[in-house]
Amino acid sequence: MTDSPLLIADHGAICLITINRPEKLNALNIATLDALHAAFDAAAADDAIRAVVLTGAGPKAFVAGADIGEMAGLTPAQGRDFSLRGQRMMRRVEKMPKPVVAMINGFALGGGLELAMCCHLRIAADTAKVGQPEINLGLVPGFGGTQRLLRLAGRAAVLELCLTGTPIDAARAQQLGIVNRVVAAAELETETMKLAGQLAAAAPLALRGILDCVNVGAECGIEEALEYESAQFGLVFSTDDMREGTRAFLERRKPEFRNR
């Protein structure tokens, strides 16, 4: 669709999803939230795709936030619905059975940081800035920002970022555990695609098991989480990929995983 807010391109086993609203600094409106949900549904269902990279178009922003123009006239009930819509989309990303890497090329503010945090890994350009500035608009983060930031960076960091609304640079974000890696802006795409390629070449059923274990463990007690991990560990012994991986190790060669 020519009017889609997304650009989607496959690079071998990697699906590159680009939010394409540079004139709005890739702000998230309802159409974009729905398009992202559909794009991740499609990537999850496509057996040829083994990793996803998410980024924003243009040199300035990954996503600079939710679309303020669209939000400004909402009623309380509509505001809650908008929040729930965004949260559903971001849970879709978080629960993807394939690894998702956020390529943070510029501002990731408000809904943009919330979107990045629901991805499994985050690589930021050294020029990027992240933050939750909703307080400056009289708003509360609505797409999961208070909760994911709490889990990634801890209580002190979430309160600092959300109560002050002041963005931080990529280096500070890495110190807090909000981003995994920081690279020179000129190397961002190369390094992100290299990481995505590494993930795409890994055993996909084991990757899915790891993602499931982390998601379950983040939301339950340690005993239940350990039991789930053991179940996943046992389950992969039924796969051809596990046999191939162990055989390749013993034969001192590179494994060829076939997602079965």
pLDDT tens per residue, range 49-91:
999 999 999 989 999 999 999 999 999 999 999 999 999 999 9
How far apart (Å, rounded) are the C-alpha atoms in residues 1 and 98? 25
Say how many domains are in the chain.
Answer: 2
Encoded amino acid at 231, one letter: A
Q: Please count the other Cβ atoms lying within 10 Å of the Cβ belonging to residue 112.
A: 29
My answer on whether 167 and 207 are in the same domain is: no
The answer to whether position 86 is within a domain reads yes
- Two tokens at 80? 């809650």
Please tell me which residue in 23, 70, 114, 227 is annotated as part of the active site. 114
C-alpha torsion angle, residues 145, 148, 151, 156 (rounded to 10): -10
Mean pLDDT of the chain: 95
Q: What is the pLDDT of residue 260?
A: 86
The alpha carbon of residue 247 and the mean position of all alpha carbons in its chain are separated, in whole angstroms, by 33
Are residues 245 and 210 part of one domain?
Answer: yes
Q: Flag residues of the chain having pLDDT under 70.
A: 1-2
Among 184, 200, 216, the domain boundary falls at 200
- 183 with 246, same domain: the answer is no
CATH number of the domain residue 227 falls in: 1.10.12.10
Which domain range does residue 34 map to?
Answer: 6-200
pLDDT score, position 203: 93
* Co-location of 102 and 215 in the same domain: no
Does residue 159 belong to any structural domain of this protein?
A: yes
Cα gap 30→167, rounded to integer Å: 25
Residue 178 lies in a domain: yes
Catalytic residue among 94, 134, 227, 244: 134
At residue 229, the pLDDT reads: 94
- The pLDDT, as a whole number, for residue 2 is 54
Asked if 114 is an active-site residue, the reply is yes
Query: In this predicted structure, what is the pLDDT of residue 1?
Result: 43
pLDDT digits (tens, 9 = 90+) for 114-136: 999 999 999 999 999 999 999 99
257 falls within a domain: no
Alpha carbons 182 and 170: distance in angstroms, whole number: 7
